């Protein structure tokens, strides 16, 4: 080796790197950081090959900029391989940026209930040149902001839009403050970033106009409280609320259960209706229990937490209390009684198969929009 060559690593350093690479999922980040950079990168690479994100997560905040950068690249590689990277829970929940100067003059906003597929429609207005720049936004809780429409209305027309939301037969919506609307937009844009869903055209401009930074921290649901189990016994009653009456399992789960229901209905193995009813109950229970993965518990926990606030603001305190209890228990996988709310959601499949009681019709004549009226996927009337 010439005098200009980099000296080889010491045997002790090489042995330390070998030991750390053998079990990268339990490697001490401090020990890895103490290695020469090429050896530290080899340990990181071993962690990626082992599909372990622990080391890369901890080194991503290393004061060694080169090592932190390599750790972030390792996390990206792991995500690309389908490895779930847990959210950082130690960080404080990001809040929307301070309200811009025009916030005091901003009108109220409108937001719809959550649909069975996790969509909410939001209408938020910003004062501009004596008029109201109106953004019509659809936020999907699994993808982020998926639709954006922009319009400019007079103050009078915007006020009429708010009044029309309360007329008989109008889709369910509540008024929220401008700051609450900003928080929803920031949260929705953060979901786009987390899920790598492209922004709809014009969203970056809306974020600038609302003086917002995307909030990538998923909203949390508080832990269960004493008395929640007594409340969730009534969880099936939430499906009597018109906003939740049409919630059904995702299409794939619905199809699987529908096939099972059809099989039970036509099988010669069951001698009478009582046997078929017992098998149907078992099939529904099994489907509902298999449905509740950790991801879905958190997803539906957040949906119900939002709907609890919606019920409270629309004068339904009992449903709000049940929804909060269901949300807390679902989100945190509380032991005890299985969710009657989720079980009822699967029982609705019987209605679709013609083997159960009929649900309320999807839309009564009074709820059908007049000819030419535009509505968002969440049901809000659009200007």
CA distance 213 to 190: 8
pLDDT, position 278: 86
Instruction: Please give the pLDDT value at position 280.
Output: 85
Per DSSP, 335 falls in state S
Q: What is the DSSP letter of 152?
A: E
Q: What is the DSSP string of 203-265?
A: HHHHHHHTT-----SPPP-PPP-TTHHHHHTTGGGGGGSTTTTT----HHHHHHHHHHHHHHH
The pTM of this model reads 0.66
288 beta partners: none
Give the CA angle between residues 257, 258, 264 to the nearest 5°: 90
CA atoms within 13 A on the CB side of 284: 23
151 beta partners: 134
**How would you list the strands of the sheet with 119-128, edge to edge?**
144-153, 131-140, 119-128, 109-112, 173-176
pLDDT for the residue 122: 96
pLDDT of the residue at 319: 96
Question: Of the candidates 127, 148, 130, which has an alpha carbon nearest to the alpha carbon of residue 192?
Answer: 148
Whether the Cβ atoms of residue 377 and residue 115 lie closer than 8 Å to each other: yes
**pLDDT at residue 374 in the model:** 55
Of 87, 96, 137, 136, the residue nearest 302 (C-alpha): 87
Do residues 234 and 325 lie in contact, with contact meaning Cβ atoms separated by under 8 Å? no
Each as own residue / partner, the long-range contacts of residues 274-283 (CB below 8 Å, 24 or more positions apart, any chain) are 280/350, 280/355, 283/257
pLDDT of residue 100: 56
Q: What is the pLDDT of residue 63?
A: 81
Per-residue pLDDT of the chain (383 residues; tens, 9 = 90+): 444 445 578 888 888 888 888 888 888 888 888 889 898 899 999 989 988 888 888 888 888 888 888 888 888 787 777 777 765 544 444 555 555 555 557 899 999 999 999 999 999 999 988 899 999 999 999 999 999 999 999 999 999 999 988 888 777 899 999 999 999 999 999 999 999 999 999 999 999 999 999 999 988 999 999 999 999 999 999 999 999 998 999 989 988 888 888 888 778 777 677 888 888 889 899 999 999 999 999 999 999 999 999 999 999 999 999 999 999 999 999 998 899 999 999 988 777 666 554 333 333 333 445 555 555 544 555 55
Predicted pLDDT of residue 92: 45
Q: Coil, strand or helix: which one is 170?
A: coil
* Phi, psi dihedrals of residue 133, rounded to the nearest 5°: -75, 120
Indicate the DSSP class of residue 117: T
What pLDDT shows up at residue 154? 92
Query: Are 178 and 318 spatial neighbours (Cβ–Cβ below 8 Å)?
Result: no
Detail the DSSP E strand segments found in 57-216: 109-112, 119-128, 131-140, 144-153, 173-176
**pLDDT value of position 364:** 37
If you ran DSSP here, which 8-state letter would residue 334 be given?
-
Predicted pLDDT of residue 7: 52
CA distance linking residue 163 with residue 150, whole number of Å = 20
């Amino acid at each position: 080796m010439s005098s200009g060559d980099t000296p080889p690593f010491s045997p002790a350093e090489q042995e330390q790197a070998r030991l750390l690479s053998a079990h990268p999922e339990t490697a001490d980040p401090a020990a890895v950081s103490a290695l020469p950079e090429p050896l530290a990168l080899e340990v990181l690479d071993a962690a990626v090959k082992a599909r372990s994100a622990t080391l890369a997560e901890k080194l991503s905040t290393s004061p060694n900029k080169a090592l932190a950068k390599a750790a972030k690249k390792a996390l990206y590689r792991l995500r690309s391989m389908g490895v779930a990277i847990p959210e950082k829970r130690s960080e404080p929940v990001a809040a929307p940026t301070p309200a811009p100067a025009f916030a005091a003059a901003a009108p109220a906003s409108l937001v719809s209930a959550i649909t069975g597929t996790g969509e909410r429609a939001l209408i938020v207005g910003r004062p501009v040149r004596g008029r109201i720049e109106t953004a019509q936004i659809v936020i999907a809780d699994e993808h982020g902001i998926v639709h954006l429409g922009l319009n400019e209305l007079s103050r009078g027309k915007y006020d009429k839009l708010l009044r029309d939301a309360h007329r008989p037969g109008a889709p369910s919506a509540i008024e929220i403050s401008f700051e609450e609307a900003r928080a929803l937009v920031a949260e929705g844009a953060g979901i786009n970033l987390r899920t790598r869903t492209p922004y709809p055209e014009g969203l970056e401009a809306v974020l600038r106009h609302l003086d917002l930074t995307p909030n990538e921290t998923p909203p949390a649901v508080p832990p269960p409280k004493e008395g929640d189990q007594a409340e969730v016994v009534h969880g099936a009653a939430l499906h009597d609320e018109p906003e939740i009456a049409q919630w059904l399992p995702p299409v794939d789960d619905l199809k699987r259960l529908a096939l099972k229901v059809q099989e039970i209905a036509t099988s010669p193995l069951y001698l009478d209706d009582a046997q078929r009813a017992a098998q149907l109950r078992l099939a529904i229970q099994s489907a509902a229990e298999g449905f509740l993965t950790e991801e879905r518990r958190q997803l539906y926990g957040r949906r119900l937490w939002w709907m609890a606030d919606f019920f409270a603001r629309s004068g339904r305190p009992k449903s709000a209390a049940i929804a909060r209890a269901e949300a807390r228990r679902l989100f945190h996988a509380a032991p005890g009684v299985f969710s009657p709310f989720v079980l009822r959601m699967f029982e609705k499949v019987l209605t679709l198969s013609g083997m159960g009681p009929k649900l309320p019709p999807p839309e009564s004549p009074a709820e059908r929009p007049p000819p030419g009226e535009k509505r968002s996927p969440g049901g809000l009337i659009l200007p």
